[in-house]
């Protein structure tokens, strides 16, 4: 029997990000960071149960993506249990995670995502039903600090633990707070001190030094990285090395970055199809070229392209300059 994915140390996790962490993105992350845990984009339980092809494609993964956790969301205990059972049977992921953190109005308005933090009793029912539906797959949950008050986090997390959650990830912001607002790691630490199960902290970690400091300050068992990994999957390897006390890997040069972008492009095309694969890269081009000389003009030009050949025509000459 395999160890649970969260037994790994150091525990470094790529966050689920809608429209970002699809299978091509995860495979690119795995290429440069073999030790990170990867999450799918958050996925509707109802869409899975309705057999929606696009929804199932969001949770599909290749063997090299393991350890891989599928994140689902919904407010019906019955639907969540049924969806988790089907995901486990069809895909055998390393874990299933329930999203209690999405702050988007179209999700919270249906009482899903962070909307369930207003109803801890129902959230606990969702966890209990989902846990009971699974045979051997660990069940985790990702929460925010609360809907309106930071004091909501500890009792909510305790309710999930009591209902059967094997791990809780805490995003250190309230529902109304945005990425520019600082994450509250003292509030994350309070959740860690209250729970018996492992706790992962999420928010404002952009380097190995950040991760090491946050773990030392809060006592969390691991860290989850989101924005800092967009266009910079190498940061995951940097954080793993820092937490192991190893030298930081050498930062990628321009040539390495461009070659990885082209690899990402080809994976996107294979996964999404010719045109959609190129268009989907627009979510990544800006981040990949952050800090690159002439980045603004280059991003503008790339975002006007819709074929692989056009992208190659623009980027391949840059390899001749390095």
Q: Verify whether residue 102 is a known catalytic residue.
A: yes
Which of 125, 43, 54, 128 has the alpha carbon at shortest distance from 87? 43
3-state SS class at 173: strand
CA atoms within 13 A on the CB side of 166: 18
Q: CA angle at residue 196 from 115 to 142, to 5 degrees?
A: 25
Residues comprising the chain, all counted? 322
The owner of tokens 């019906």 is: 76
CA atoms of 136 and 252, how far apart (whole Å): 39
Where would I find the beta strands (DSSP E) of 167-295? 167-174, 199-202, 222-225
Beta-bridge partners for 144 = 171
CA atoms within 13 A on the CB side of 321: 8
Task: Give residue 69's region: left, alpha or beta (phi > 0; psi -120 to 50).
Answer: beta
Select which of 102, 154, 223, 236 is catalytic: 102
Active site residue ranges:
102
């Amino acid at each position: 029997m395999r160890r649970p994915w969260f037994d790994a140390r150091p525990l470094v996790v790529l966050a689920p990000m809608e429209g970002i962490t699809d299978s091509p993105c995860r495979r690119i992350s795995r290429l440069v960071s073999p030790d990170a845990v990867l999450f799918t984009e958050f996925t509707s339980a109802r869409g899975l149960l309705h057999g929606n092809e696009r929804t199932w494609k969001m949770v599909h993964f290749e063997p090299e993506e393991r350890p891989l956790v599928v994140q689902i969301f919904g407010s019906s205990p019955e639907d969540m249990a049924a969806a988790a059972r089907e995901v486990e049977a069809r895909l055998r992921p390393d874990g299933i995670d329930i999203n209690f953190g999405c702050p988007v109005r179209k999700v919270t308005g249906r009482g899903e995502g962070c909307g369930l933090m207003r109803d801890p009793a129902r959230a606990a029912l969702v966890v209990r039903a989902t846990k009971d539906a699974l045979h051997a797959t660990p069940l985790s949950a990702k929460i925010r600090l609360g809907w309106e008050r930071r004091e909501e986090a500890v009792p909510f997390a305790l309710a999930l633990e009591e209902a059967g959650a094997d791990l809780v990830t805490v995003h250190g912001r309230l529902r109304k707070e945005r990425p520019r607002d600082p994450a509250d790691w003292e509030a994350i630490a309070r959740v860690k001190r209250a729970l018996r199960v492992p706790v992962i902290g999420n928010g404002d970690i952009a380097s190995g030094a950040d991760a090491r400091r946050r773990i030392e300050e809060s006592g969390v068992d691991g860290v989850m990285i989101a924005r800092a990994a967009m266009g910079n999957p190498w940061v995951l390897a940097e954080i793993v090395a820092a937490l192991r006390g190893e030298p930081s890997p050498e930062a990628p040069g321009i040539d390495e970055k461009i070659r990885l972008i082209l690899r990402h492009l080809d994976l996107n095309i294979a996964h999404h199809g010719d045109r959609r694969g190129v268009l989907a890269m627009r979510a990544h081009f800006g981040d990949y070229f952050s800090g690159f000389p002439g980045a603004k003009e280059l991003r503008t030009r790339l975002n006007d392209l819709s074929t692989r050949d056009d992208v190659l025509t623009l980027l391949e000459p840059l390899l001749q300059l390095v």
